[in-house]
Structure 1
Amino acid sequence: MPQLPRSGDWHVAFSGGLDSTVLLHALVCIRDRIPGELKAIHIHHGLQSEADAWGEHCRDFAAALEVSYQQINLALNPSAGESIEALAREARYRVLADLLQPGDWLLTAQHQDDQAETLLLQLLRGSGPAGLAAMAKTARLGKGWLQRPLLGFTRQALEAYAQREGLTWVEDPSNRDLEFSRNYLRHKIMPRIQVHWPAASATLSRSAGLCADAQVLINELAAEDLQRCRGSESGRLSVKALSRLSEPRIRSLLRHWVLAQEGAAAPGYRHLQRMLDECVLGRADASPLVGWGGMEARRYRDDLFLGPRLPPYDAGLCLSWNGEAALTLPSGLGRLEVSLSEHGVDAEAWQNGRIEVRFRRGGERCRPVGDSFHRSLKQLFQTWGVPPWLRDRIPLIFLDGELAVIPGFAVCQPFVAAAEIAAVQPYWSGSLSRNLALNAQKSRPDQA
């Protein structure tokens, strides 16, 4: 066995196939070296008629080895045109990640031939070093870690082990379905390659490792560039600073920036190039939008913004609010709450007034504290540096039909509490307010 984890429980992804059967059996043989509990986890995808029988086989096999066993049933509903293989893989890793506690490990049974196939598939997809690095030996997963201890072994070596130990395993007929790209490569292409290059799996796996090393260096440079190219607020990039870099370096930084966001899908080369052309090198007066996988990148002034794709909403919405209990806004627009404060809205006016929450429709004006005249919301938002695509989604609080509060930005006259008068402060929370970095206090504390 190669070097193995030295902490936590070890969860083995156990499909019942040859590879995971060998892995589980080999780990049982060194059970005394395992720091925590050894557990077999079987994912029932429900995609094959034999799936129930496979689950029973896995349960019986684990019981014979006196290994803790857990089966998790998935309910997959692929949409038209969606890859069932990709959907199952994503769902499988998601539920396995949820099982891990800090210090725990998930061990999976991918081997050297799998690694070689992965590299070739990524090459045929036009991937860069990150994709060509194929499968990492060790990676973060949820609160714990993922390890692939069999990457140094060929499938032939695993078969020899299984036969020597008299192991039994299940065969998934879908592994012979040549409609799947990996199966076509495995059964039609790799055998021909190995006739001429017998060591192809080993050499391709070595190439994957070299790409992984290269990607480490790329990531380290991108992390340094990220510090140099910070925008006006955390999480943003400066377009001016980006434009000083070479184009390959910009694309690398953009990819690193996206992946640093929790849950963000990696953009492909086409999207990275669009971000470069439209958001970094495009006209200064343009309003670029590049979207992919539920994410979108935009530019405003010198800042490059990244966030979840904005959901549709009802601009004509008008919500009544008692001003006491928190108000959850529809369409993911956040949450409004109120607290006592030294500055803010006159508490008596707040308690006795008719409170409504609306969104910008045009014509709204406000005179914040310190201003001698009313200004339009457009002027105020420009002053505060609010990006145009977020302006219409900022909740506005009206008292008795008049604009009283722009949460996170200003209380409008004449609703500002005088000195020594009890006041309340409405505040807005949620992903949009975080995107606006409201905690940076765009306006003075007595206005926010």
Structure 2
Amino acid sequence: MSLLDRLHARLERQPPTRHWRVGFSGGLDSTVLLHLCARLRARGLLVDLQAVHVHHGLQAAADAWVAHCTRVCQGLAIPLAILHVRTDGAASLERAAREARYAAFARVLPEDGCLVLGQHRDDQLETLLQRLVRGAGVKGLAGMPETRSLAAGRLWRPLLDEPRAALLAYAEAEGLDWIEDPSNADTGLDRNYLRHKVLPRLRQRWPGVDQVMARSARHLAEADELLGELASLDLQQARLVAQPFPWIPLPSLALAPLQRLSEARQRNALRAWLAALTRQPDSAHWAGWQAVREAGTASDPVWRLEGGSVRRGAGRIWWVPDAWQVMPSPQPVAARVGTLELRGNGRLIFTGQAVEAGWRIGYRQGGERLVVAGRGSRDLKRLLNEREVPPFLRGRLPLLWRGDELLAVANLPGLSALPGGGRLEWQPADGMGGFELG
């Protein structure tokens, strides 16, 4: 069976899709892939086909590569989108370029569209070895998945089972022209060192190592799938416990069900939970989880991760984005307003009562007291402790003042009543782009 027919067979196993986008760098792999896709289009498939070239500007010849890709796409009558990205100031240029590339692909991928990439079996082996020497876990050693979700669509790597030699033979037989990136010869880069120095020796000593390592990656991918199913079951138990503050728009889990798990199952469940929130913590960072898990109820441990922190409160763990670490500023309230947009802190709604002149919104500084019906004047700190308000939330709770008199605390039962019988309702911003967690 030819390479084209093998690709056709794999395409038939994919979900129905109208919009197809091919990542096209101009190199051998993507050139072969684009040529194959053009031939599949000639068979009546891949009707809405477009090439996407990401211009990093990292090579002096980058503009010439754009011109080359344009000529190739014109010859195949395939539309070409050119996306410019920047990676200025990145600590790891290789990683930053990769992340910028996928972010650009995600921006232009239509809903339910499919991005097709040309990575092959040699790329998979290099990825596996690179992650192995970096100490990756099961998920990392499973290598690149053939398919995964991307933005509102999905990503597909149909050539992962094909050796680079098969792509090269196809390109030469078809007389294709492609770009040779000079950086691919730089063995100072980890991936290139593995490609030029390590893999040739492995193949010389064990001629079947490509198939063996690819099989190992598939076994690990299966193991990772099983771990994912176990994590879903464990997270389901942690989500069954009712959230005591349903108006807090932050991801959270009940702590007790997690504490009953073994250490390994805890980490497995948390990796799955954190996957959509932050970069996966490495081995050294898990000490932060231990501190959160074992802290007393009166303490406020913080497990700092990229983009936010895991905090503890009200018998739960919470994902608190970095935006919540910046305390909001006090502000006056215009008379007779019904809704007040808070600076960086969502909005307030005054229900059942018009706002009076002289009211203002402030935030906790310490030492506040509130007159509570039937109890007299009470220390606000004690009132918050009684209601088990998570420590990370206390500095963001809007307080309604009239001069030096604290009138109400938003949302908390028994504390949110307005003087005239209304109620102070707060819709906090989630710190991740909106007022509700998507």
Structure 1 residues 357 and 283: CA distance shift in structure 2, 3 A: closer
Match of 1:149 in 2: 158
Structure 1 residues 202 and 356: CA distance shift in structure 2, 3 A: same
Match of 2:426 in 1: 427
Match of 1:267 in 2: 281
1:7 CA displacement? 1.2
Pick the aligned partner of 2:412 from 403, 409, 412. 409
1:394 CA displacement? 2.0
Q: How far apart, CA to CA, are the structure 2 residues paired with 1:281 and 1:427?
A: 32
The answer to whether the Cα contact below 8 Å between 2:131 and 2:140 also exists between their aligned partners in 1 is yes
Do structure 1's residue 239 and structure 2's residue 255 form an aligned pair?
yes
Percent identity over the alignment is 36
Pick the aligned partner of 1:20 from 30, 47, 50. 30
Q: How does 1:376-415 map to 2 (within 5 A)?
A: 376-409=379-412, 415=418
The answer to whether the Cα contact below 8 Å between 2:312 and 2:318 also exists between their aligned partners in 1 is yes
Q: How far apart, CA to CA, are the structure 2 residues paired with 1:414 and 1:424?
A: 5
Structure 1 residues 437 and 69: CA distance shift in structure 2, 3 A: closer
1:156 CA displacement? 1.1
The answer to whether the Cα contact below 8 Å between 1:265 and 1:293 also exists between their aligned partners in 2 is yes
Secondary structure of 1:222 counterpart: helix
Structure 1 residues 436 and 45: CA distance shift in structure 2, 3 A: closer
The answer to whether the Cα contact below 8 Å between 1:18 and 1:159 also exists between their aligned partners in 2 is yes
Match of 1:248 in 2: 264
The answer to whether the Cα contact below 8 Å between 2:87 and 2:97 also exists between their aligned partners in 1 is yes
1:220 CA displacement? 0.4
Deviations 1:204-261 (A, max 9, x none): 12111111100111110111111122354274333322222111111111111212xx
Structure 1 residues 402 and 284: CA distance shift in structure 2, 3 A: closer
Deviations 1:367-418 (A, max 9, x none): 34x5432222211211222112321222222223422232222686994224
The one-letter amino acid of 2:105's match is: L
The one-letter amino acid of 1:318's match is: P
1:136 CA displacement? 0.4
Q: How does 1:41-440 map to 2 (within 5 A)?
A: 41-79=52-90, 82-230=91-239, 231-233=241-243, 235-259=251-275, 262-275=276-289, 277-283=290-296, 285-300=298-313, 302-309=315-322, 312-313=325-326, 317-322=329-334, 324=337, 327-330=340-343, 332=344, 334-339=345-350, 341-342=351-352, 346-347=353-354, 350-351=355-356, 353-368=357-372, 370-409=373-412, 415-418=418-421, 423=422, 425-431=424-430
The one-letter amino acid of 1:360's match is: R
The answer to whether the Cα contact below 8 Å between 1:407 and 1:428 also exists between their aligned partners in 2 is no
Q: How far apart, CA to CA, are the structure 2 residues paired with 1:224 and 1:424?
A: 39
The one-letter amino acid of 1:107's match is: V
The answer to whether the Cα contact below 8 Å between 2:124 and 2:144 also exists between their aligned partners in 1 is yes
Structure 1 residues 228 and 413: CA distance shift in structure 2, 3 A: closer
Q: How many residues align?
A: 418
Q: How far apart, CA to CA, are the structure 1 residues paired with 2:435 and 2:408?
A: 17
Q: How far apart, CA to CA, are the structure 2 residues paired with 1:300 and 1:425?
A: 23
Deviations 1:322-353 (A, max 9, x none): 253855444x4x122335x34xxx42xx23x2
Match of 2:10 in 1: 3
The answer to whether the Cα contact below 8 Å between 1:405 and 1:411 also exists between their aligned partners in 2 is no
Secondary structure of 1:62 counterpart: helix
The one-letter amino acid of 2:70's match is: R
The answer to whether the Cα contact below 8 Å between 2:146 and 2:158 also exists between their aligned partners in 1 is yes
The answer to whether the Cα contact below 8 Å between 1:255 and 1:272 also exists between their aligned partners in 2 is no
The answer to whether the Cα contact below 8 Å between 1:403 and 1:412 also exists between their aligned partners in 2 is no
Q: How far apart, CA to CA, are the structure 2 residues paired with 1:101 and 1:29?
A: 22
Structure 1 residues 319 and 272: CA distance shift in structure 2, 3 A: same
Q: Which runs of 5+ in 2 are unaligned?
A: 1-6
The one-letter amino acid of 2:31's match is: T
Deviations 1:10-65 (A, max 9, x none): 10000000000000001111113425411000001111110000001001100100
More divergent stretch after superposition (423-432 vs 357-366): 423-432
More divergent stretch after superposition (209-218 vs 301-310): 301-310
Structure 1 residues 59 and 325: CA distance shift in structure 2, 3 A: farther
The answer to whether the Cα contact below 8 Å between 2:416 and 2:423 also exists between their aligned partners in 1 is no
1:123 CA displacement? 1.0
The one-letter amino acid of 2:285's match is: H
Normalised to the residue count of structure 2, the TM-score between the two structures is: 0.88
Q: How far apart, CA to CA, are the structure 1 residues paired with 2:416 and 2:405?
A: 10
1:437 CA displacement? 10
The answer to whether the Cα contact below 8 Å between 1:236 and 1:305 also exists between their aligned partners in 2 is yes
Match of 1:446 in 2: none
Q: Which runs of 5+ in 1 are unaligned?
A: 439-448
Structure 1 residues 183 and 144: CA distance shift in structure 2, 3 A: same
The answer to whether the Cα contact below 8 Å between 1:18 and 1:170 also exists between their aligned partners in 2 is yes
Q: How far apart, CA to CA, are the structure 2 residues paired with 1:359 and 1:42?
A: 49
The answer to whether the Cα contact below 8 Å between 2:364 and 2:395 also exists between their aligned partners in 1 is yes
Structure 1 residues 297 and 354: CA distance shift in structure 2, 3 A: same
More divergent stretch after superposition (224-233 vs 213-222): 224-233
Structure 1 residues 306 and 87: CA distance shift in structure 2, 3 A: same
Q: How far apart, CA to CA, are the structure 2 residues paired with 1:320 and 1:200?
A: 70
1:179 CA displacement? 2.2
Secondary structure of 1:168 counterpart: coil
The answer to whether the Cα contact below 8 Å between 1:265 and 1:295 also exists between their aligned partners in 2 is no
